[in-house]
Amino acid sequence: MKFSTKGRYGLRAMVDLAVNARGEHVALCSIAERQGISTNYLEQVFSVLRKSGLVKSVKGAQGGYILAEAPSNIKIGRILRALEGPLSVTDEKVEDSNENETSIQHCIRTCVWDKMNEALNDLADSLTLEDLVDNYWKMLGVEETMYYI
């Protein structure tokens, strides 16, 4: 049970953009370099993010990407749904076949899959990009202290 590379890399790239933007556009190649992801692949990811209204692009020599909204307004759930589709632990095919399901399948769906999906979506929608950026700084802060000791 894994998220795809698109979701994983896309989320990392969004945190990178939030950390490094500071009001200016960030070149895709600089994100690619810091994250160790190919620029080609990031272009695909950012094209999806742009269409979903999560980032804005500016063309030209000083061009690049910027977040479309403040990090505190961007829920993680929105980023992941844009990149992965609905956040669900079962296939859409399974969810669509409710009419033909057996009693056992009905119980497993309502007691297990629906509960897992609810928890997953609640978690992803309770956190924003700002929370991930804050955690990132905290993580680096701890590391620096350890180095000095």
Partner 1 sequence: MKISTKGRYGLEALVDLAIHSSEGCVSLKSIAERCGRSEAYILQIFLILRRSGIIESIRGAQGGYILARDCSQITVGEVLTALEGPLAPVACITHTTEPICERYGRCETLGFWESVMNTLNDVVNSITIEDLLKCYQEHKAIEDNKIEYYI
Distance CA 54, CA 74 (A): 8
Site string for partner 1, 39-78 (x = CB under 8 A): -------------------------------------x--
CB 48 within 8 A of CB 85: no
- Applying the rule CB under 8 A, the residues between 12 and 31 that interact with partner 1 are 12, 15-16, 19
Tell me 111's DSSP state.
I
**Residue closer to partner 1, measured from CB, 13 or 64:** 13
SS3 for 71-101, per residue? Answer: HHHCEHHHHHHHHHCCCCCCCHHHHHCHHHC
- 127 counts as binding partner 1 under rule CB under 8 A: yes
Least distance from partner 1 to the Cβ atom of residue 50, Å: 20
Binds partner 1 by CB under 8 A, chosen from 58, 135, 141, 144 = 135
Binds partner 1 by CB under 8 A, chosen from 73, 98, 110, 144 = 110
Strand pairing partners for 58? 64
